[in-house]
């Protein structure tokens, strides 16, 4: 499996007395890309868990600006969306979580100055594990659905700007991304991005 994480696991400080449901931040092998785990507090009603906290994100050096939230519903297993990013002057960060179904979520480092330039990581996000992925500016993001009727929720730092929208091809040999299952559904735009140079 290509799931490789840094040995450093960063857990947020509980700090204040009412901080009863913190999140845990795991930095991946790509600097600035985090898998974020919730910590449910359960009782006979079910559970309560935090999925966003400006203070906790700031403690880990992450961008806390939120301009838009979006959701995508993918009716068929094997649907691929990506690999997308937004270029300057409107680069964006994203927090991605799967609220229904399951996805194989991929983040690709396109920051030329980065030591992990053209490297990628993947995390399985499901409605059951409730994990999230933080995608920093300069990284492309995409996913493959692992079940029918999969819904994905995004928190995005910038407003959508069509002239700044960019992408790279999911199967570009420059990246050698390994997808776990066959791609069954993909848009014409995502299928035909040119080779990366």
**Is the pLDDT at 16 greater than 60, yes or no?**
no
Q: What is the CATH number of the domain that holds 153?
A: 2.60.120.10
| 84 within some domain | yes
* 146 closest CA partner among 97, 83, 101: 101
C-beta separation of 127 from 100 below 8 A: yes
What are the DSSP calls for 97-163, one per residue? Answer: EEEESEEEEEEEE--TTSTTTT-EEEEEEETTT--EEEE-TTEEEEEEESSSSEEEEEEESS---GG
Q: Residue 98 and residue 105: Cα distance in Å, rounded?
A: 9
- Whole-angstrom CA distances from 53 to 85, 89, 182 are 24, 26, 36
Looking at the DSSP assignment, which residues form a beta bridge with residue 98? 152
Q: Is 197 part of a structural domain of the chain?
A: no
Residue 98 lies in a domain: yes
pLDDT at residue 194 is higher than 70: yes
Look over the chain and give the mean of its residue pLDDT values, rounded to a whole number.
Answer: 91
Whether 156 and 69 have beta carbons less than 8 Å apart is answered as yes
Q: What is the pLDDT at residue 103?
A: 98
Closest to 170 (Cα-Cα) out of 181, 183, 157: 183
Q: How confident is the model at residue 108 (pLDDT cuts 50, 70, 90)?
A: very high
pLDDT bucket at 20, cuts 50 / 70 / 90: low
Q: What is the pLDDT of residues 27-47, one digit of tens each?
A: 999 999 999 999 888 889 998
Half-sphere exposure of 13 (CA within 13 A, CB side): 6
- Residues marked active site are found at 84, 154
Long-range contacts of 54-57 (CB under 8 A, 24+ apart): 55/15, 56/12, 56/22, 56/23, 56/25, 57/134
CB 154 within 8 A of CB 141: no
pLDDT in tens, 57-89: 999 999 999 999 999 999 999 999 999 999 999
Residue-range definition of the domain harbouring residue 97: 5-191
pLDDT of residue 197 exceeding 90, the answer is no
5 — pLDDT class (breaks 50, 70, 90)? very low
Question: Total domain count for the chain?
Answer: 1
196 is a domain residue: no
pLDDT in tens, 114-169: 999 999 999 999 999 999 999 999 999 999 999 999 999 999 999 999 999 999 99
Q: Name the DSSP letter for residue 194.
A: P
Q: How confident is the model at residue 2 (pLDDT cuts 50, 70, 90)?
A: very low
Residues 44-60 have pLDDT tens digits of 999 898 899 999 999 99
DSSP state of 79: B
């Amino acid at each position: 499996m290509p799931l490789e994480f840094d040995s450093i696991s960063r857990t947020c400080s509980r700090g204040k007395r009412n901080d009863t449901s913190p999140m845990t931040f795991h930095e991946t092998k790509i600097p600035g890309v985090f898998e974020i785990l919730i910590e449910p507090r359960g009782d006979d009603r079910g559970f309560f868990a935090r999925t966003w906290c400006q203070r906790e994100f700031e403690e880990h050096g992450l961008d806390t600006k939120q301009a838009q939230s979006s959701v995508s519903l993918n009716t068929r297993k094997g649907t691929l969306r990506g690999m997308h990013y937004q270029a300057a002057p409107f680069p964006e960060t994203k927090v991605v979580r799967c609220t229904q179904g399951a996805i194989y979520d991929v983040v690709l480092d396109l920051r030329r100055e980065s030591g992990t330039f053209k490297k990628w990581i993947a995390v399985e996000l499901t409605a059951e594990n409730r994990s999230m992925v933080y995608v920093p500016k300069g990284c492309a993001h995409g996913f493959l659905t692992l079940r029918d009727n999969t819904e994905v929720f995004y928190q995005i730092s910038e407003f959508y700007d069509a002239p700044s929208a960019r992408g790279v091809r999911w199967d570009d040999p420059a990246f050698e991304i390994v997808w776990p299952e066959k791609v069954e559904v993909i848009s014409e735009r995502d299928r035909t991005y040119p080779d990366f140079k």
